[in-house]
Chains A and B, each alone.
Chain A
Amino acid sequence: MLVLLLLLIPLITGLGVFAFKNDRQVKTISLVSATATTIIALLLVFNKATIIYDASWLPSLGARFTLRADGMAKILCLLTAIAYPLIFVTIHDRNYKSSATFYGLMLLTQVGLMGVFLAADALLFYFFWELALIPVYFLCSIWGGEKRISVTFKFFIYTFVGSLLMLTGLLYLYFHTVDQSFAWESFKAISLNGKEQAAIFALLFIAFAIKMPIFPFHTWQPDAYEQSPTAVTMVLSAIMVKMGIYAVLRWLIPVVPMAASQHAHMVITLSVIGMVYASLIAIKQDDVKRLIAYSSIAHIGLMSAAMFTNNTAATSGVMIQMFNHGINVLGLWIVAEVIEQQLGTRKLSELGGLAQKAPAMAILLVVLSLANIALPLTNAFVGEFLMFNGLFQYNVWMMAVAGTSIILAAVYTLNMVQKVIYGELNTITANAIDISGNVKLVLVLIVLMIVAFGIFPQYLIELVK
């Protein structure tokens, strides 16, 4: 029942909020809803057992409404649940036009995300997968930047092609289950021959690879991140890209293990290429949002490489890194949002000297940046260590090439820090003021999490075991 609340609370408030006209009411309701969801998610995490909710849905199709909260699902639900109130608090002072629709769509996206992480029935999973996409399409197209319509459309069609191919794969699997069902257990029990596994692997993997995104399916991502309203970008990069990784871990590797290990080499190679490539491009970026976007591709690349190494430690590294990367990137986006709101620019070349004007923000940004480079004592270190270790055991040369991305990450992240907060003040930054109550609170919370999980990573590791 507790699991069901994770879906019901945002669903009911998300639909209900459309009826309100008053902006303040809308914001309050959304924040209360998001906080309530967080509390439920925390209760779920403290309960060690795997919780399953099962109800009849479409008996004639062999699909049931099955939710399953195990460690991996819980950690991502927790991420989703924590991210939402933080986002809502950050944008509390901002006024989006027709905010009821904005918040309503945001909450509906949350339903989709939670559903994807919880669904233990393939058709249900597909439903939520799409449900997460549709509101985001409207959010980006209505409130996004200048080129929003075409960019979002590209993003939508890209992912839609992927999900239809995935549907084909899921249907194929369905007809090969023993009991004609979409249940996750039945899918795991399917035995296919090598050729069939390869076909299914291709169909599902393309969908997940577009969502993550892995090189060369990543072209939608930097544009979409840049053009989306920052609140949506936060959802996209902190939570939504994790859908792809999560789907591989839940629906791909257990279902077609043979094909997964056969294609591991190809996937890891692509991921490593993507890591280095994205890192190199990130160095060249002048736009803060694009820089974070490419940095995100590099981080996701490491996760996707690590999960195909077939190494238990690396896999748990992926799981905790999904959580930690979500938290870190959320912090970076919040800083980007604050800078853009205040100064009207995101260009590194036009910024500088913010440490003098906004010391609190500067300190918090430095911690966030260190976490982005995965320095020890920050939360990202443990996950990256486990993943690189797995990659090392898989193939030393792969690890060596992938390892250069650590250095490159330091280059672009520190470069950004330097250009934003150090240096001389200029006409644009001269009038900057420090971050205010709301945003400060959020960033402090994020930094606390970074430090806490950096020093005590065992809580997360135990959760995903």
Chain B
Amino acid sequence: MNAIIFSAVLGVLLMFSGILFSKKSAITATAVVSLLALLLVNIAESYGWFTINVDTKNLLSFGRFGLFFNSILISATLIFVLLSGKEIENTGVNTAEYYALIMFVLCGISILTAFNGLLMLFLGIEIMSIPLYILTGADKRNLKSNEAALKYFLMGAFSTGIMLMGIALIYGATGSFDLVSGTNKPGSAGLEIPSFLKSAGYILLFAAMCFKVSAAPFHFWTPDVYDGAPSVFTSFMATIVKAAGFFAFIHLFESNAALLGPSWKILVSFVTVATLVAGNITAVFQRSIKRMLAYSSIAQAGFMLLALFANNDLAREGIILYAVAYCMATIGFFAVLIKVKDYTFEGFNGLAKKDPLLAFSATIFLLSLAGIPLTAGFFAKYYMLASVIKSGGALWLVITAVLFAAISVYYYFKVIQAMYFKEGSPEVAAGSAMYRNLLVLLAGLVVLVGVLPSIVLNWFYF
């Protein structure tokens, strides 16, 4: 509960910081302090030191797993702001508002990591999504940014409609918003309401969630929105928000999967394979790195969907690790990308000569995204594959995923090739000393988690 209340209050406070401070760097500093405070109260709750108790009528439940995941996402946001705060300041005029919106997104995320019923799921998704529509359009004089925001909003609203429809059907079938609603409740006249209604409801809910995590065939908005949005906010959307979406997705279906019977596995494996195909194959043909990353984020979603397919303990541990690895690598790489003027692959030519440190960190992040051993990304993928094999059968799905992972190497390594093996003199903005130190630290963390993933997982078990 702490995080939900604090993020809402801090969000409002941050909005007013725009009036208090005239200097933008002061606003960023306030945001960093707020995020630290938010992280602290969330950790305090997970250790049971300090909790604000509100009777939520069992609509929310704060388990260790959810709180831990929330801490990870708040930390990721903190790293994101520390690394890219300068860029947020440069994006538009309303710096304070952007931070406030990010805080509201975190409020939505805090609900999503704790929801215990469909109603709260809906609220969380909406609270998370609406600030994002605004952030996408933050660069308001840029036509592409406007287009992206409008597209995102319309598509998002559409998927929200589908989600509501699903929830309504489920409510009609069971008479409750509970996550686990065992048998169908008899209607008022004692008539059995057909379970078809409930299955249809869950399938609509499934489609809406697929939209939120940009799983194929509901992924078409992703490249345009990620490409059009200001790069800093793309980095935020593609990592933290997506990870939260996945958490909600898995939490929603971990207890309901059985209700849908064997067709459930077929459905999920179809979506997984479609997502892997759509993401990886299209990413290969991109000429802009930013757009490539948009497709690669679809591809990564395909891998995360394996956790949904496996639906066991290993999958839940794995999704934590995946969120950590994916967030660190993508936030890090975006932080490098923003510094480079030209977003095409040619724009990275010769970066290793020009700025070895930037290129080296970027290489570590890319290796992690590709899932090469000794980086965090390897264990993330490892857990996903292991969880599917553990759930029995489905070796074909693992082999498919693995082959697409090999394809992903192609487009990630193209960036490395440009940086190290090709000649050129790219235009790079020099970052502050803190930016550079943080970047190296983050790269170091990626390697550390890659050698000893238990560091992250032990936190989970204490």
Contacts and interface: CB of A to CB of B under 8 A. Distances in A.
Interface of A: 58-60, 126-127, 130-131, 134, 138, 141-142, 148-149, 153, 156-157, 160-161, 164-165, 167-168, 171-172, 174-175, 199, 203
A126 B372 CA distance: 11
Contacts of A138: 420
Contact of A164 (B405, B413, B420, B421): B405
B406 interface: yes
A141 B417 contact: yes
Contacts of A171: 382, 385-386, 389, 398
A127 B403 contact: no
A326 to B, nearest CB: 25
Contacts of B421: 141-142, 148-149
A149 B373 contact: no
A127 B382 CA distance: 12
Given A60-B457, A149-B417, 4 more contacts: A130-B374, A142-B420, A164-B403, A165-B402
B395 interface: yes
B263 interface: no
A298 to B, nearest CB: 29
A165 B453 contact: no
A172 B395 CA distance: 8
Question: Which of A142, A174, A175 has the most C-beta atoms of chain B within 10 angstroms of its own C-beta?
Answer: A175
B409 A168 contact: no
Nearest to A150: B417
Given A164-B402, A167-B402, A153 B373 contact: no
Contact of A58 (B373, B409, B454): B454
B287 interface: no
Contact of A60 (B389, B398, B454): B454
Given A156-B409, A157-B409, A127 B385 contact: no
Nearest to A174: B386
Nearest to A128: B373
Question: Which of B373, B409, B422, B453 has the most C-beta atoms of chain A within 10 angstroms of its own C-beta?
Answer: B373
A175 B390 contact: yes
Contacts of B409: 156-157, 160
Interface of B: 367, 372-374, 382, 385-386, 389-390, 395, 398-399, 402-403, 405-406, 409-410, 413, 417, 420-422, 452-454, 457
10 contacts: A130-B374, A141-B417, A153-B413, A157-B409, A164-B403, A164-B406, A165-B402, A168-B389, A172-B389, A175-B386
Nearest to B385: A171
Contacts of A167: 382, 385, 402
Contacts of B385: 167-168, 171
Contacts of A149: 417, 421-422
Contacts of A175: 386, 389-390
Contacts of A153: 410, 413, 417
A413 to B, nearest CB: 35
A59 B454 CA distance: 8
A165 B406 CA distance: 10
Nearest to B407: A157
Nearest to B406: A161
Contacts of A126: 373
Nearest to A138: B420
B373 A131 contact: yes
Contact of A127 (B374, B389, B417, B452): B374
A131 to B, nearest CB: 7
Nearest to A158: B406
B223 to A, nearest CB: 24
A450 B420 CA distance: 40
A199 B395 contact: yes
Contacts of A127: 373-374
A181 to B, nearest CB: 14
A165 B399 contact: yes
A126 B452 CA distance: 15
Given A127-B374, A141-B421, A157-B406, A168 B398 contact: yes
A337 B382 CA distance: 41
A199 B421 CA distance: 39
Given A164-B403, A165-B402, A171-B385, A141 B420 contact: yes
B420 A156 contact: no
A142 B452 CA distance: 30
Contacts of A168: 385, 389, 395, 398-399, 402
A90 to B, nearest CB: 25
A46 to B, nearest CB: 33
